[in-house]
Amino acid sequence: MSMFINPLHIPLYDRVDILVAGAGSAGCCAALAASESGLHSVMLLERYGFAGGTSTQMLDTFYGFFTPGSNPRKIVGGWPDLVVDELQKTGSIFLRPNTYGAGTGVNYNPERLKRVWDMLILQQGIRYLLHTTLIDVFPENEGYTCVFWAKGGFGKVMARRVIDATGDADFSHLAGFKYETAGESEPAQSMTTTFRMSNADLEEYKKAGGKKKLVSQMKDAVAQGRHALPRKEGSAHEMNARGCISTVTVKVAGYSGLNAADLTRAEVEGRRQAFVYEDFFRQEVPGFGNSDIIGLSTQIGVRETRRVYGEHRLTKAECMAAEIGADSILLCGAPIEDHRLDPENGEETHWEYIPGSGIYGVPYGCIVPEGSVLAWVTGRCFSATHDAHASCRSMAQTMAMGQAAGFAAARSLEKDEAAKDVSVAALRETLSDRGAVLEIPDKTADTSRDGWLTNR
Ligand SMILES: Cc1cc2nc3c(=O)[nH]c(=O)nc-3n(C[C@H](O)[C@H](O)[C@H](O)COP(=O)(O)OP(=O)(O)OC[C@H]3O[C@@H](n4cnc5c(N)ncnc54)[C@H](O)[C@@H]3O)c2cc1C
């Protein structure tokens, strides 16, 4: 809450039952679930001109739907499935094995995904407000006054319930909830500007050894002083657009995602690195001789900033225990994938797999800020330690968290329950009814390229 803004002087834009701040994968699914019963007015507010957050700003593969390893299980369902189904209707997905171990990914065309998010949001009658940044919050007895800035000036929305899906926990920060900032106790994960290249001959690339060969080529190029690549691993994979690849290779470390001066330096450095990789691809990688960068991510990808202290805090020990508690609202099987500031023993990304069943449950308390009555926190800024967060941040999980927050907020209005007191048993029932997966499935998933429909 700021000392400079007087909310009484700000024009009232709207009153809603549920406000979702941030339209990333978590926020979109939160709004979709919250609106499902049709009983509540739901608003989704987003600072950029399109929904999806990281899913459309920079990426093209949902991880986390499937567990890694030789016996893959599909462990996320409900609204996240419906999103993929819409993409599937346009023929715009394929399943691809992930060579770095996060499990089979669902690859999509991110530009189409922007359309899919629009369509689903509008179909549900959600009040959709783009180009609008949440800048202040005033707690009231019956909800929150949320102040935003947009090109037309300041405005306020009065909301009975709020879901913080800003990725950076902007709402929770402004509302006075407690959080840990990345880098406080362990080094924050590095940032990445993703880039896409066109006109690649992927047959030639694969014939010459594909991804496996690429990593050794990167190492050679650096060792022999030909290209100063900042990271000698990462992903360069086929996109859902002919002859195009998408990459997660750039590595920018040591900057804060919450500070404009740091972010400026990080953006400039990320773009510089992208073109260092372009030279390397053109000069050294078979199939890329006539290839160009055709797109950089809308902004540099920030893996972690604020992590709110919730009613429950997911820890590494809990992930590694591979248990599904009676208070679980989603499942995760992704390994810890920690993009480190300083490589230890040459290890640029630290991987640690979930043992035993390979799957753990995420408790409801992880999406409820400590003591919260009227607000939830979901997606990238949920309540977890650094290492647990490094496992539970793939987009299937952020979508699943979002849908749980959306149903919980709707229920809290219907039953007059505080966020921290929502009946988890009833919430789990709603989630199961809607197709969410809360138990380990017996069935091995079909992870063939066209396998999506057989898993549905
Ligand atoms: C470089 C990188 C690579 C990754 N690779 C993968 C991958 O291949 N597959 C995978 O599954 N996961 C991957 N992840 C992880 C995953 O993408 C994220 O954890 C996940 O997308 C986060 O979703 P979210 O909705 O919580 O947050 P975000 O996607 O960050 O969404 C937050 C939204 O809130 C908006 N917002 C922020 N502040 C405000 C405000 N004050 N007012 C209004 N709007 C606001 C933002 O513009 C954004 O749209 C990657 C992450 C990064 C950074």
Indicate which CATH number applies to the domain containing 431.
Answer: 3.50.50.60
Classify residue 374 as exposed, middle or buried by CB count within 10 Å of its CB (0-12, 13-18, 19+). buried
Which residues lie below 8 Å from residue 294, measured CB to CB, with a gap of 6+?
196, 197, 198, 244
To test the pocket of ligand 1, the residue of 377, 395, 399, 401 to mutate (highest count of ligand atoms within 8 Å of its CB) is 395
Q: Are residues 349 and 204 in the same domain?
A: no
Q: Domain count of the chain?
A: 2
Which residues lie below 8 Å from residue 67, measured CB to CB, with a gap of 6+?
73, 75, 103, 333, 358, 359
Q: What is the pLDDT of residues 364-392, one digit of tens each?
A: 999 999 999 999 999 999 999 999 999 99
**Which residue's alpha carbon is at the smallest distance from atom 31 of ligand 1?**
24
Task: Tell me the torsion sign for CA atoms 321, 79, 102, 338.
Answer: negative
| Residue 121 contacts residue 128 (beta carbons within 8 Å) | yes
Residue 276 has pLDDT above 90, yes or no: yes
Alpha carbons 427 and 69: distance in angstroms, whole number: 30
| Residue 431 contacts residue 78 (beta carbons within 8 Å) | yes
Q: Are residues 55 and 163 in the same domain?
A: yes
Q: What is the pLDDT averaged over residues 145-166?
A: 98
Highest mean pLDDT among 100-109, 185-194, 347-356, 398-407: 398-407
Q: Are residues 140 and 106 in the same domain?
A: yes
Closest by CA position to 163, among listed 411, 416, 402: 402
Residue-level pLDDT at 100: 63
Q: Give the structural domain span for 207.
A: 195-296
Q: What is the pLDDT of residues 415-453, one digit of tens each?
A: 999 999 999 999 999 999 999 999 999 999 999 999 999
Q: Are residues 135 and 209 in the same domain?
A: no
Between the CA of 436 and the centroid of ligand 1 the distance, in Å, is 21
Classify residue 314 as exposed, middle or buried by CB count within 10 Å of its CB (0-12, 13-18, 19+). buried
Position in ligand 1 atom list of the atom nearest CA 393: 19
Which residues lie below 8 Å from residue 123, measured CB to CB, with a gap of 6+?
none
Q: Are residues 319 and 173 in the same domain?
A: yes
Q: Are residues 71 and 162 in the same domain?
A: yes
Which residues lie below 8 Å from residue 345, measured CB to CB, with a gap of 6+?
none
Position in ligand 1 atom list of the atom nearest CA 399: 25
| Residue 60 contacts residue 108 (beta carbons within 8 Å) | yes
Q: Are residues 281 and 409 in the same domain?
A: no
Q: Is residue 112 part of a domain?
A: yes
The residue among 248, 263, 296 that closes a domain is: 296
To test the pocket of ligand 1, the residue of 48, 59, 136 to mutate (highest count of ligand atoms within 8 Å of its CB) is 59
Q: Are residues 285 and 353 in the same domain?
A: no
Residue-level pLDDT at 5: 83
Q: What is the pLDDT averaged over residues 3-29?
A: 95
Pairing of strands 143-150, 235-238: unpaired
Q: Would you place residue 296 in the very low, low, confident or very high pLDDT band (cuts 50, 70, 90)?
A: very high
Position in ligand 1 atom list of the atom nearest CA 170: 41
Q: How would DSSP label each residue in 339-385? A: EEEEEETTEEEEEE---TTS-EEEEGGGGSBTT-SSEEE-GGGSSB-
Which residues lie below 8 Å from residue 51, measured CB to CB, with a gap of 6+?
23, 24, 27, 28, 44, 114, 117, 118, 121, 128, 130
Model's pTM, two decimal places?
0.97
Q: Is residue 2 part of a domain?
A: no
Q: Could you count the other beta carbons within 10 Å of the beta carbon of residue 88?
A: 18
Q: Would you place residue 340 in the very low, low, confident or very high pLDDT band (cuts 50, 70, 90)?
A: confident
Task: Tell me the torsion sign for CA atoms 198, 204, 209, 214.
Answer: negative
| Straight-line distance from the first to the last Cα atom of the chain, in angstroms, rounded to the nearest whole number | 45
Residue-level pLDDT at 364: 98
Q: What backbone phi and psi angles, to 5 degrees, belong to 53?
A: 55, -135
Residue-level pLDDT at 341: 60
Q: Is residue 287 part of a domain?
A: yes
Q: Is residue 106 part of a domain?
A: yes
Q: Are residues 108 and 176 in the same domain?
A: yes
Position in ligand 1 atom list of the atom nearest CA 54: 29
* Beta strand spans in 152-229 (E): 153-164, 179-181, 195-198
Between the CA of 384 and the centroid of ligand 1 the distance, in Å, is 16
State whether the beta carbon of 334 lies less than 6 angstroms from ligand 1.
no
Residue 456 has pLDDT above 90, yes or no: no
Q: Which of 1-10, 150-159, 241-250, 328-337 has the lowest mean pLDDT?
A: 1-10
Higher-scoring residue by pLDDT: 287, 232: 287
Classify residue 284 as exposed, middle or buried by CB count within 10 Å of its CB (0-12, 13-18, 19+). middle
Residue-level pLDDT at 70: 87
Closest by CA position to 400, among listed 79, 6, 55, 100: 79
